[in-house]
Structure 1
Amino acid sequence: MANSPQAKKRARQIERRTAVNKARRSRIRTFLRKVEEAIATGDQAAATAALRLAQPELMRGVTKGVVHKNTAARKISRLSARVKALGA
């Protein structure tokens, strides 16, 4: 357990930051799930719309340090390929 005042403060800050990051990560997963569900139904228009909403959310996660840049790029790439395949 933290003993010094500085360590106690850092523990409080980490607690708040963890809550924010958790909410942000959850929000990103929700957007990704919506894309997955649209792909599962086979509706390309809905999947494209969901992907358009998910992309900025994922990249926002990158700028906030919740998701790594390459991870976000990989997810977007794979999802867009799957959405594109619906049309074929």
Structure 2
Amino acid sequence: METSEMNRRAVRILEEWNPFSVGEELHGTEIVAVVAQLHILDHPSDLAKQIQRIYEFSFKKWIPLEKCVEISYKLLALKYEAKCII
């Protein structure tokens, strides 16, 4: 899987997650920031903390870390799938 395909799939996962049930177009900036962190981080807890921080900064609402951990596992599974295929 190419990096661009991994990014597209990660965006779809995050759009479906939509933690605050806002329109997809309203959290594009956060999705881009999370995908960037996905390229840097490899540990679910680290990625989850960044996801929580990114969304809290933008929406001024707190997401329970457990929900962020769940999505971080999905994203990291996608990342490792992409690495194994390359």
Q: TM-score, normalised on structure 2?
A: 0.38
Larger radius of gyration: 1
Query: Which structure: greater helix fraction?
Result: 1
